[in-house]
Structure 1
Amino acid sequence: MTETVGAEALGTEADGPERGRVIELARGESRLGLLPELGGSVAYWRVAERDLLAPQADPNLPAQKGAAVGAYPLVPYSNRIGGAAFSFEGQAFSLAGNFVGEANSIHGNGWEHVWTVVQSDADRAILLFDHKPEDEARAKEWPFAYRCVQSFVLHDNGFDLEILVVNQDARPQPVGFGVHPFLACSASATLSFKAGTVWENDGRNLPERAVPAEGAWSFAAPRVVAGGKIDNCFAGWAGRAELAEPEQGYAVTIDADPIFRHLVVYAVPGKSFVAVEPATNMNDAIHHPDVLERGLHVLAPGERISGVIRFRLEDRRG
Structure 2
Amino acid sequence: MVDATTSPLRSAEASPHVHALAAGRMRASVRPLDGGRLASLWREEPGGGRTDVLVPLPETGFDPLFWPKAGTYPLVPFSNRIRGAAFRFGETPVALAPHPAAAPHALHGFCQMRPWTMTRHSQVQVEMRYRHAPESAPDAWPWEFEAIQRITLDASGVTHEIGVESRAASPMPIGLGLHPYFAVSQGDRISFAADAVWKADANGCGRELLTLTGSARLHDSRHGEDEVTTYHAGWGGTASLDRRDGTRVVIEANAPLDHLVFHVPAGGRYLCLEPVSHVADAFNLAASGKAGTGARVLRAGEAISATMRIELA
TM-score, normalised to structure 2, is 0.88
Q: How does 1:1-318 map to 2 (within 5 A)?
A: 4-5=11-12, 21-48=17-44, 49-55=50-56, 62-64=63-65, 67=68, 69-135=70-136, 138-140=138-140, 142-213=141-212, 218=216, 220=218, 222-245=220-243, 247-289=244-286, 290-314=289-313
Deviation at 1:205, TM superposition (A): 1.4
Change (3 A) 1:83 1:3: farther
**Identity, % of aligned positions:** 30
Give the Cα–Cα distance (whole angstroms) in 2 for the partners of residues 152 and 56 of structure 1: 16
Give the Cα–Cα distance (whole angstroms) in 2 for the partners of residues 187 and 219 of structure 1: 24
Give the Cα–Cα distance (whole angstroms) in 2 for the partners of residues 169 and 208 of structure 1: 30
CA RMSD of aligned residues (A): 2.4
Give the Cα–Cα distance (whole angstroms) in 2 for the partners of residues 169 and 303 of structure 1: 10
Give the Cα–Cα distance (whole angstroms) in 2 for the partners of residues 62 and 105 of structure 1: 17
Given that 2:21 and 2:123 are in contact with CA atoms closer than 8 Å, whether structure 1 keeps it comes out as: yes
Give the Cα–Cα distance (whole angstroms) in 1 for the partners of residues 273 and 246 of structure 2: 20
Give the Cα–Cα distance (whole angstroms) in 2 for the partners of residues 168 and 130 of structure 1: 9
Cα deviations by residue, 1:276-317 (Å, 9 ceiling, x for unpaired) = 000011111101122332212211111011111111011xxx
Aligned residues: 296
Alignment gaps of 5+ in structure 1: 11-20
Give the Cα–Cα distance (whole angstroms) in 2 for the partners of residues 227 and 67 of structure 1: 19
Deviation at 1:226, TM superposition (A): 1.7
SS at match of 1:54: coil
Deviation at 1:46, TM superposition (A): 0.5
> Which residue in 2 is equivalent to 1:16?
none
TM-score, normalised to structure 1, is 0.86
Deviates more, 1:223-232 or 1:274-283: 223-232
SS at match of 2:84: helix
Alignment gaps of 5+ in structure 2: 45-49
